[in-house]
Amino acid sequence: MKIDGYCDERFISVKHIFEKNFELGLEVGASFAVSLNGELVVDIWGGFSDSAKTKPWEKDTIVNVFSTTKVMTALCIHLLVDKGLIDVDAPVAKYWPEFAQATKENILVKHLMSHSAGLPGFDEKIPVEALYDWDRIIGLLASQKPWWKPGTKIGYHMITFGYLLGELVRRVTDKSLGEFFRDEIAIPLNIDFHIGLSKSFDSRTSNIIPPEEIFAKWQIVLAKLFLKKAVKVLYNPNLEDADFNSREWRSAEIPASNGHGNARSIANIGSILACGGLYDKKKILSMSTVEKAIEPQISGRDKILLYSPAKFGLGFGLLNDKLLLGPRSFYWSGAGGSICVMDLEKKVSIGYAMNKMYMKGEDPRTGQLVKAVWDVINKY
């Protein structure tokens, strides 16, 4: 398998692992990038952007990275915090008055960002198409009662995270989150990442290759018996019915789930945070805002993600022994494998994007790649 792009000699072991993943049949098309001190030291790609393996994955190929998009969504909120337009300790209803319905008047912005607001899913049964209707989703969330006392428990806000924070952005700036991200980050910093993808980008967008099944039938039966809240989130709407390669999915703004980019753009966005708010010698965020972003807000067992251990800062995960280097590492990942991992002490950010989704347990690709990066970083 021919691997294209640039790899600093110090990181050649990373490139070899990336190449081997193709040889083992773990990849169809993918990209991997590492930024160190704001400079790309790894920027590689290979494979194909279609399941038939007829169209090569190119330098500018982009793909849906699912929940890795949450990193970009959180960054938008931190930009507004830095501008003094949002206070994470303030009630959400300060900016979005209708949100105060159904006992939500005391939910704070930081509860939304730490997946502890008690709004991880929808009470009303909705189809996938409802996700394309922003006002409908916002209306549902505004009128809904929390599933637990806000700030006391973790429950992954898989889809709702993006709508809740996106509505804050809209209330404060009069722009959608996708527009705000484009105007404040993507265009001025020349970063190729999109939340709400224009049709003009379709020719260089890789198709997603979903797994044949996400959960075995016995897992679904057990979940319905014992993990009813998880089922309520994972199957409402039922994303197995979604066509992630459709124009409708790509063009919608679903800021928790449908950002499109590649490893380079993910690593570059991550470097803003990993470098204490600096990008290309420009100050994008204050160091104090970045430090606040990775302060632990809540830890415990996630009520939605099968009661797995979790710890959250303001928009970022702080607990993962396979991906994180130390106490100043933080990350988030997307369904199927994509990741953004950052470390404030080492000034490192890692991006990975691919089209072949892996959903059965621990991804055999990402852990090895990230470990190889940390092994090199620790030598210097």
Per-residue pLDDT tens over the stretch 226-247: 578 888 998 899 988 899 999 9
Task: List the structure tokens of 64.
Answer: 């849906």
Q: Kindly report the CA angle at 252 between 69 and 163, in degrees rounded to 5?
A: 60
Instruction: Check whether 298 has a pLDDT greater than 70.
Output: yes
**What is the average pLDDT across 143-147?**
98
CATH number of residue 319's parent domain: 3.40.710.10
**Cis amide linkage into residue 237, ω under 30° from 0:** yes
Instruction: Return the percentage of the chain with pLDDT > 70, whole number.
Output: 96
Residue 114 DSSP symbol: T
* Lowest mean pLDDT segment, chosen from 54-63, 64-73, 180-189, 205-214: 205-214
Residue 149 pLDDT > 80, yes or no?
A: yes
- Average predicted confidence (pLDDT) for the chain: 95
- Does the pLDDT value for residue 200 go beyond 70? yes
Q: What burial class does residue 229 get, using C-beta atoms within 10 Å of its C-beta: 0-12 exposed, 13-18 middle, 19+ buried?
A: middle
Domain containing 117 equals 3-377
How confident is the model over 156-194, as pLDDT tens digits? Answer: 999 999 999 999 999 999 999 999 999 999 999 999 999
pLDDT of 376 reads 97
Residue 213 binned pLDDT confidence (cut-offs 50, 70, 90): low
Q: How many percent of the chain have pLDDT more than 90? A: 90
Whole-angstrom distance, CA of residue 160 vs CA of residue 172: 19
The per-residue pLDDT for range 320-353, each reduced to its tens digit, is 999 999 999 999 999 999 999 999 999 999 999 9
Tell which residue, 51, 280, 108, 275, has the closest CA to residue 185: 280
Written as one letter, the residue type at 307 is Y
Q: Is pLDDT of 212 > 90?
A: no
Domain count, the chain: 1
Q: Read off the tokens for 352.
A: 């990975």
Predicted local distance difference test score (pLDDT) of residue 1? 81
Under a CB-based contact definition with an 8 Å cutoff, are residues 11 and 27 in contact? Answer: no
Q: Is the pLDDT of residue 73 over 60?
A: yes
End-to-end CA distance of the chain: 30
Amino acid letter at 312? F
DSSP string computed for 128-152: GGGGG-HHHHHHHHHHPPPSS-TTS
CA distance 181 to 189: 11
> How sure is the predictor about 4, in pLDDT bands with cuts at 50, 70 and 90?
very high
**Banded pLDDT at 278 (limits 50, 70, 90):** very high
Q: Are strands 309-312 and 329-333 parallel, antiparallel or unpaired?
A: unpaired
In terms of Cβ atoms closer than 10 Å to its own Cβ (0-12, 13-18, 19+), residue 38 is middle
Residue 236 per-residue DSSP state: T
Radius of gyration of the chain (CA): 19
CA distance 34 to 14: 10
Q: Quote the CA–CA distance of 78 and 73 in Å, as a whole number.
A: 9
Neighbours of 58 (CB within 10 A): 15
Q: Given CA atoms 152, 157, 161, 164 in this order, what sign does their dihedral have?
A: negative
Residue type at position 100: A
3-state secondary structure of 334: coil
Task: Report yes or no: 42 and 32 within 8 Å, Cβ to Cβ.
Answer: yes
Distance CA 26, CA 369 (A): 13
pLDDT for position 307:
86
Q: Look at residues 7, 346, 64 and name the one whose alpha carbon lies nearest to residue 208.
A: 64
